[in-house]
Amino acid sequence: MAERDILALRSLSPAEVRRLIDRAKSGVWSSALAGKSVGLFFEKASTRTRVSFEVAITQLGGHPVFLPAQEIQLGRGETVADTARVLSRYLHALVIRTFGQDRLAEWARHATIPVINGLTDAHHPCQILADLMTIDVKKGRLAGLTLAYVGDGNNVAHSLLEGCAMMGVACRIASPAGYQPDAEVVKWAELQAGQRGTTIQIGEDPKAAVRGADVVYTDVWTSMGQETESQKRAAVFRPYQVNAELVRLAKPDAIVLHCLPAHRGEEITDDVMEGPQSAVFDQAENRLHVQRAILEMLVGNHTP
């Protein structure tokens, strides 16, 4: 196990989250990864995570090594333990995009280099760091704001709960019964929020969640690996669409976020995605800036 991994947002302290956001906002970058290589092991398709990490590694002077699951020996039966130990001899860090959080934890257990969660079914910490940066830039602060998330209580919802709670942002989640966030994550977030004088609310009413919010956030109704449930989910989540009528319940200067990819006309409408309150594409850009900050922090001074 490496000295430091980011397996979930709670792997970081609030002070570290603040430093990463400020570093990402700075726009001034070093060559901290010169002569270093970072592996990108992906078992799930990706646009933003892959490209932002590859570009970030390159801009910091490093070399990205893309490792599709079926193109290394892991796809032919080699164990995660053996693969992680071997790759630790070649690389300076690993970004893992996989399914179960337990699989990510197995990589981290056996790797002796930092492991970064590029997405699992349970958490998406790098995305939420970019989201917090976006809110901070647009609103000039984090503490004291209210974020409303409408939709599936998925990996993004889990990391939002952790990130908001750590940074003093009130978080309201509206999800249908049976699709709400994991109870353990909610409990952890409630404890953190209480220490910072803010609140976590989990409910089923999207209007109640959005009313008076500073940020309105949504995600796809069907995540990768759930495709067989897509028709059922479309029916269940239809009342949770983020449209102009729902956004009007938020504050007049509220911003709208979506981690992308978006299924326009399902969880979000075109007019909201393209409207003046949308910060969706700034949010996507900020993945690059945050990725640089993460790599600089974890890899910049690391020697295998």
**Candidates 152, 219, 233, 241; catalytic one:** 219
Whether 96 and 107 have beta carbons less than 8 Å apart is answered as yes
Please report the pLDDT score of residue 301 as a whole number. 59
The one catalytic residue in 92, 97, 289, 292 is: 97
Start-end of CATH 3.40.50.1370 domains in the chain: 9-123+287-299, 125-284
Per-residue pLDDT of the chain (304 residues), as tens digits, is 656 999 999 999 999 999 999 999 999 999 999 999 999 999 999 999 999 999 999 999 999 999 998 899 987 889 999 999 999 999 999 999 999 999 999 999 999 999 999 999 999 999 999 999 999 999 999 999 999 999 999 999 999 999 999 999 999 999 999 999 999 999 999 999 999 999 999 999 999 999 999 999 999 998 777 788 888 999 999 999 999 999 999 999 999 999 999 999 999 999 999 999 999 999 999 999 999 999 999 998 544 4
CB-CB contact of 254 with 277 (8 Å): yes
Instruction: Name the 3-class secondary structure at 42.
Output: strand
Q: Which of 287, 289, 291, 292 is catalytic?
A: 287
Marked catalytic residue, from 126, 164, 171, 259: 259
Known active-site residue 131:
no
Could you give the 3-state DSSP secondary structure of residue 14? helix
Q: Annotated catalytic residue: which of 5, 48, 127, 241?
A: 127
> Does the domain at residues 125-284 carry the CATH identifier 3.20.20.140?
no
CATH topology of domain 9-123+287-299: Rossmann fold (3.40.50)
Task: Say if CB 66 and CB 38 are below 8 A apart.
Answer: no
Take residue 68 and report the two structure tokens written for it: 């599709």
Residue 303 pLDDT: 42
Residue 41: Cβ-neighbour burial (10 angstroms; 0-12, 13-18, 19+): buried
Active site residue 302: no
Report residue 43 as tokens: 């078992």
| Residue 219 among the catalytic residues | yes
Q: What is the pLDDT of residue 21?
A: 98
Q: Annotate 161-211 with DSSP letters as a single string.
A: HHHHHHHT-EEEEE--TTSSPPHHHHHHHHHHHHHTT--EEEES-HHHHHT
Per the annotation, the verdict on 124 as an active-site residue is yes
| Catalytic member of 124, 233, 258, 289 | 124
Question: Does residue 287 have an active-site annotation?
Answer: yes
47, 50, 206, 221 from 237: Cα distances, Å:
25, 29, 11, 7
pLDDT tens, 104-150?
999 999 999 999 999 999 999 999 999 999 999 999 999 999 999 99
